[in-house]
């Protein structure tokens, strides 16, 4: 539960300020609507987005388990003028967080008073994870679309059978 609280609330706490402790208002401006991947001290990891209304959506994976989808309602993350806290239904505590920027795209969120309990967050860009296929020089010399083969009017054409069909109702 501690990791869930950290992972959920920590993503809201990044900012574009210089490295060091962050203020809640800086964190709010930086994180709203952006996607972060995270890893925590206990091995928990995932990807998540915190919206301006304090709702959270993403994934969480604990050691030895499959990743699962998580969605938390608006108001889960509360940002006041002096604190960033999580309101977790069923939790005995409502943790608040210390946030330290570690680079222009990353930060560390820890539970106030428990510096050992932290998660590291990095701005996540799914486009970077898609690797472009590289073509060799020989492949580049080949045309991307093969040349059309001449067909005479007497050459029989074999049609492939339809595997499935979709009915479309038009007005």
- Structure confidence by residue, pLDDT tens digits, 89-136: 888 888 888 878 888 888 888 888 887 889 999 998 767 655 544 455
Better pLDDT: 68 or 139:
68
* Closest to 76 (Cα-Cα) out of 96, 53, 108: 53
Beta-bridged to residue 47, according to DSSP, are: 37, 59
For residue 88, give both structure tokens: 């977790």
What is residue 46's predicted lDDT score, i.e. its pLDDT? 95
- Of 3.40.50, 2.40.160, 2.170.140, 2.40.128, the CATH number of 2-124 is 2.40.128
């Amino acid at each position: 539960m501690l990791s869930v609280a950290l992972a959920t609330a920590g993503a809201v706490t990044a900012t574009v300020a210089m490295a060091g402790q962050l203020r809640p208002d800086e964190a709010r401006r930086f994180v709203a609507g952006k996607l972060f991947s995270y890893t925590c001290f206990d091995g928990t990891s995932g990807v998540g987005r915190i919206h301006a209304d304090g709702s959270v959506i993403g994934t969480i994976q604990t050691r030895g388990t499959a990743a699962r989808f998580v969605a938390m309602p608006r108001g889960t993350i509360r940002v006041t003028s002096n604190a960033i806290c999580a309101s977790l239904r069923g939790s005995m505590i409502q943790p608040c967080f210390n946030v330290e920027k570690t680079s222009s795209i990353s930060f560390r969120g820890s539970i106030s008073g428990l510096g050992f309990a932290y998660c590291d967050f990095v701005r996540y860009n799914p486009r970077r994870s898609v690797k472009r296929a590289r073509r060799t020089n020989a492949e580049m010399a080949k045309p991307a679309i093969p040349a059309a083969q001449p067909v005479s009017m007497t050459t029989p054409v074999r049609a492939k059978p339809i595997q499935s069909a979709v009915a479309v109702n038009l007005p």
